[in-house]
Amino acid sequence: MRWWRSFLDTRLRRLLRDSSWMLVATAISAALGIVQVILVTRLLGPDRYGQLTLIIAISATIRQLVGIRTWEWAMKEFAIAYTRRDPAYAADVVRRGYLSGLVVNLIALAVVVGGAGFAADRIVHDRTAALLVIGYGAVLLINWTYDTSFAVLRVVGRFRFLAVQQVVQSIVRIVVTGGSVILWQRLDTTVGAYIVVEVIASLWLGLAASATFRGELGSVWWRTPRGPRRSGQMARLVAISWLIDTLKFTAGRVDLLVLGAFRSPFAVANYQAALNFLDVAQRVAQPITMVAFADLAKMGAAGQGRELLRVVGKLSLLALFVMTPVCTALLVVAPWLCHLVYGVEYPDAALLLQILAFSLLWLTGLWMQSSFISVGKPGWGLEVVVIMTTVKVGLLFALTPSYGGVGVAIANLAYCLSMPLLIPMYLARLRRWIASPEYEQRVTPPAVEAPVVQATG
């Protein structure tokens, strides 16, 4: 017990305390999400549910393919501006973040529209679904505010608001999408319901981020005069982030598209049914990630490298302690759970969930990319993704043609387990970097220049 109290030191307890609101909200949202899944899967049936999954996956995949992970850059740079109380630079970060999000989403929408016919024919296996692919792609005109808005709210510490927002959004989603499915049981109206939810969420987040900026920094971001332009290594970080997202595209949502190319929407529906439970578990872990990234970004901005190293080591151990029994329990209860939620119409979901159960151990390395960015080494995150993607893609194309969903599940499991295997190596590299004179030189200038920047701003 004494060791446990020592392990959960003041900073880690504060991190968990700040996460508590989000943890409760995520648990409630996850429960509501299961209700929504039951309604959608049972009332649409496996074939239409598989088509819905693919229609959503097409836009999400293309957005990820052309995306540049603006939120990572925005969190790192906004943390610097917020720590130094520099409204001019903070406003510049928000402007550039929103503009980047808009440009990326417009490019993604153009690709969705241009490839809708091909995607509907070859992946959804229904030529008439092209209009639905384009229709759902229209959310890209709305949700470009997400990345930067979340970055502002997380760095400032508005986790209680984000918790409330998450629960309310889940309620809105279940009312709108669930109501649509109950009333019409049609694919087109269900897609329309998803679009309505996205519009409400993006507007709410954008307004909240603007109000938070004004309350914390005393000005409105779009009216704040520009200060001296600081690159913040945006171009380099954006390029690395784009490569990371491109590789994650190859190893992420593409598994659904590859499965859709080789198998029917029925097979996709069973695989997505298994993924739904993993998504619930990962969503419950996300609040700690949100708080941790904001905290790591502030530590990086303040040059507290050794403290950052200590925190990420404990986060890995904490995730391992929590997720190992969760994975074991998921393996055991998978048949009962799938039968309870989906009934007999999704016969392959239980086996796929059992194969995927221990893939949740990748959560032990959730700190990696955020800490690499915070200490000025985003390229290490790219290395990790390259290694993991090589493992998955090789298995994906080797196994899917012959084994369908089982092959995709095995490839996904190998992909996820490669992350905890890489943790010791990158912890050692992180330790050497933070102890190096070069790191000390990089973190010293901000503390000297801070008064000058504040006076200029």
Q: What is the pLDDT of residues 222-268, one digit of tens each?
A: 888 876 665 545 566 667 767 776 676 666 667 888 888 888 889 99
Half-sphere exposure (Cβ direction) of 238: Cα atoms closer than 13 Å: 15
The answer as to whether 153 is a domain residue is: yes
Q: What is the pLDDT of residues 300-359, one digit of tens each?
A: 777 788 888 888 888 888 888 888 998 999 999 999 999 998 988 899 999 999 999 999
pTM: 0.67
Which of left, alpha, beta for 227 (phi over 0: left; psi -120 to 50: alpha)?
beta
- Examine the pLDDT at 452 and tell me if it is beyond 50: no
The answer as to whether 1 is a domain residue is: no
The answer as to whether 434 is a domain residue is: yes
Under the banding of pLDDT at 50, 70 and 90, the label for residue 448 is very low
Instruction: Spell out a b/e string for 292-326, using b for 16 or more CB atoms within 10 Å of the CB, else e.
Output: bbbbbbbbbbbbbbeebbebbebbbebbeebbeeb
The answer as to whether 229 is a domain residue is: no
The answer as to whether 451 is a domain residue is: yes
Q: What is the pLDDT of residues 399-412, one digit of tens each?
A: 999 999 999 999 99
Structure tokens at 158: 């508005």
d(C-alpha 435, C-alpha 96), whole Å: 33
For the packed helices 265-301 and 405-434, what is the interaxial angle rounded to 10 degrees? 10
The answer as to whether 228 is a domain residue is: no
Domain residues for the domain of 296 are 9-221+234-456
Under the banding of pLDDT at 50, 70 and 90, the label for residue 367 is confident
CB proximity list for 319: less than 8 A, separation 6 or greater:
285, 363, 364, 366
The answer as to whether 2 is a domain residue is: no
Residue with tokens 């470009």: 144
The answer as to whether 3 is a domain residue is: no
How many structural domains are present in the chain? 1
Is the Cβ–Cβ distance between 354 and 213 less than 8 Å? Answer: no
d(C-alpha 63, C-alpha 108), whole Å: 5
